[in-house]
């Protein structure tokens, strides 16, 4: 009898050890798997005191989240950025001993994290696309219409923008990732994203403005975005968001990405009073004071993942 009891006790302890920590025993943002934040076009981890995800990693870590900020090419195709991110994910897994990660990507970071989840779903617990142009961006279409493939204007634009993104990499102290602004532009057009979605369809809505599958291949898919280009008259970047929003012809957008295009998997919300920069708490926290603070939205998402045991 004693031997049977000890065997039962040992089995019970093993079972308890492999179960996820219950939510009541954790901090509000403490997820089972590490969170990796992934920047968009022209993005970086940190330049001096300025973070791309301004104040967001700290807000998540404050209540238990294990957060990493990836740095991939500031401008390149989704596939190139995706392979860079896949390498980074494997490094995080090796460093932490975790079996999976939760990926959160802003703007071009959205398709970038989708790539990793598509080619290596066994390494990814969840994908959260923040204003990802999952069906393309009208702004990219307009620019592609002006910059003809093979033209002098394309050569000049490519050289200037590649120089700019290389400077971003140098200032942020990142590895010398390859820069290809024309490949980035082509990736972000409606046609480019349509081609990408054929190869990586997970979570993409079948309808123009619906939701996609909530879970594919064991990976949970979420999305959210803003829908208000002008949000704070003190923010000098608002003017550019307002101007760029004209490309959408009145359709709801955040200044760079249409709300419907941002949909992926479970749509948390697509009309926050935020523009494309507000979604990462920029410029330096000058966001809409009448809307939920973006840091809070990230914290809520971490808590949502926690509730799912992720």
209 close to 224: Cβ distance less than 8 angstroms: no
Residue 270 phi/psi, 5° resolution?
A: -125, 15
Distance CA 179, CA 277 (A): 22
Q: DSSP of 37-81, one letter per residue?
A: EE--TT--SEETTEESSTTHHHHHHTTT--EEE----SS--HHHH
Mean pLDDT of 210-214: 98
* CA–CA separation, 66 and 83 (whole Å): 22
Distance of alpha carbon 307 from alpha carbon 24, whole angstroms: 10
pLDDT value of residue 6: 39
Whether 254 and 275 have beta carbons less than 8 Å apart is answered as yes
Catalytic annotation, pick one of 254, 259, 261, 278: 254
Instruction: Count the neighbouring beta carbons within 10 Å of the beta carbon of residue 255.
Output: 29
Alpha helix locations (H) across the chain? 2-18, 56-61, 78-96, 109-119, 138-146, 152-172, 181-188, 190-199, 238-244, 294-307
Annotated active-site residue 254? The verdict is yes
Give yes or no for residue 250 having a pLDDT over 70: yes
For 215, residues 6+ apart whose C-beta sits below 8 A from its C-beta are 221, 265
* pLDDT > 80? residue 2: no
Is pLDDT above 60 for 10?
no
Q: Is-catalytic flag, 181?
A: no
Which of left, alpha, beta for 250 (phi over 0: left; psi -120 to 50: alpha)?
left
For 11-35, what is each residue's pLDDT tens digit?
Answer: 443 333 334 445 445 799 999 999 9
DSSP state of 125: E
Average pLDDT of the chain to the nearest whole number: 92
**What does pTM read for this prediction?**
0.91
Is there a catalytic annotation at residue 107? Answer: yes
* 41 within 8 A of 107, measured Cβ to Cβ: yes
pLDDT of residue 25: 53
| pLDDT (mean) for 225-246 | 97
In which residue are the tokens 């990693």 written? Answer: 57
Q: What average pLDDT score do residues 234-258 get?
A: 97
Q: Which two tokens stand for residue 189?
A: 């057009």
DSSP state of 280: G
Catalytic residue among 77, 107, 172, 237: 107
Query: Which is catalytic among the residues 39, 106, 108, 276?
Result: 276
């Amino acid at each position: 009898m004693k031997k049977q009891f000890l065997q039962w006790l040992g089995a019970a302890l093993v079972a308890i050890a492999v179960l996820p920590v219950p939510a009541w025993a954790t901090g509000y943002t403490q997820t089972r798997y590490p969170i990796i934040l992934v920047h968009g076009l022209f993005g970086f981890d940190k330049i001096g005191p300025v973070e791309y995800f301004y104040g967001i990693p700290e807000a998540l870590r404050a209540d238990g989240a294990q957060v990493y900020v990836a740095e991939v090419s500031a401008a390149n195709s989704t596939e190139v950025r995706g392979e860079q991110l896949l390498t980074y994910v494997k490094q995080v897994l090796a460093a932490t001993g975790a079996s999976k990660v939760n990926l959160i990507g802003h703007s071009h970071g959205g398709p970038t994290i989708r790539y990793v989840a598509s080619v290596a779903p066994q390494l990814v617990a969840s994908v959260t696309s923040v204003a990802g142009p999952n069906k393309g961006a009208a702004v990219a279409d307009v620019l592609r219409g002006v910059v003809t493939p093979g033209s002098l204007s394309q050569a000049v634009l490519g050289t200037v923008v590649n120089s700019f993104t290389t400077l971003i990499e140098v200032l942020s102290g990142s590895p010398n990732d390859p820069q290809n602004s024309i490949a980035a532009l082509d990736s972000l057009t409606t046609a480019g994203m349509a081609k990408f979605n054929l190869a990586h369809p997970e979570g993409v809505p079948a309808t123009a403005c619906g939701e996609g599958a909530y879970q594919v291949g064991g990976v949970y898919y979420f999305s959210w975005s803003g829908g208000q280009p002008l949000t704070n008259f003190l923010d000098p970047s608002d003017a550019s968001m307002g101007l760029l929003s004209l490309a959408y012809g009145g359709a709801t957008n955040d200044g760079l990405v249409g709300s419907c295009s941002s949909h992926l998997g479970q749509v948390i919300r697509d009309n926050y009073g935020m523009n494309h920069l507000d979604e990462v708490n920029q410029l330096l926290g000058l966001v809409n004071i009448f809307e939920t603070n973006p840091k809070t939205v990230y914290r809520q998402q971490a808590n949502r993942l926690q509730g799912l045991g992720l």
